Amino acid sequence: MSYKSILTQLYFILIYADGQVNDHERCSGKNLVKIERFDEEDFQVQLEFLKSKDPSAILSDCIKALKKLDRNQQIRVVAWLCVVANGDGFMDKMEWQLIYTIYHKELNLPLEEIFKVQKELNRLPREKSSFDSSIKSVA
């Protein structure tokens, strides 16, 4: 399974972890697609397809595949999950349990490195939007 596929599937599981998908999670998904250079239409098709699958089976497959990725990609995936989960300013208990299981119990990744990448990812959309608004104000 590819990095793109793993990230898409884990994003899907995460946004449905608390039983409801909110605008912040959708916005984080759009940023993920843009920053990771995913095809937006393919991403949406995959999300629709995943609605017919068993989330626990998806998670199991993703964890197996994550273990085959290099450490930097593993950290980036978990950092993205944190960005999405914190998109509304609050990480739900179910979201936290999912992320904790992946980074600590399954992959044994250092939290400090995840936080570092999470900060970088959080900065990217803001920097771009600040840049865009400064261009508009000059025009």
CATH number of the domain where residue 111 is located: 1.10.3680.10
For residue 2, the SS3 value is coil
- Higher-confidence residue of 117 and 89: namely 117
Q: Which domain range does residue 88 map to?
A: 3-138
Give the CA radius of gyration of the chain: 15
User: Mean pLDDT, to the nearest integer, of 10-38?
Assistant: 90
| pLDDT band at residue 125 under the 50/70/90 scheme | low
User: Mean pLDDT, to the nearest integer, of 70-85?
Assistant: 96
Q: What is the C-alpha to C-alpha distance for residues 89 and 93, in angstroms, rounded to an integer?
A: 13
Alpha helices (H) in 51-110, listed in sequence order = 55-66, 71-85, 93-100
Number of separate domains in the chain: 1
The pTM (predicted TM-score) of the whole model is: 0.86
For 55, residues 6+ apart whose C-beta sits below 8 A from its C-beta are 13, 16
| pLDDT band at residue 88 under the 50/70/90 scheme | confident
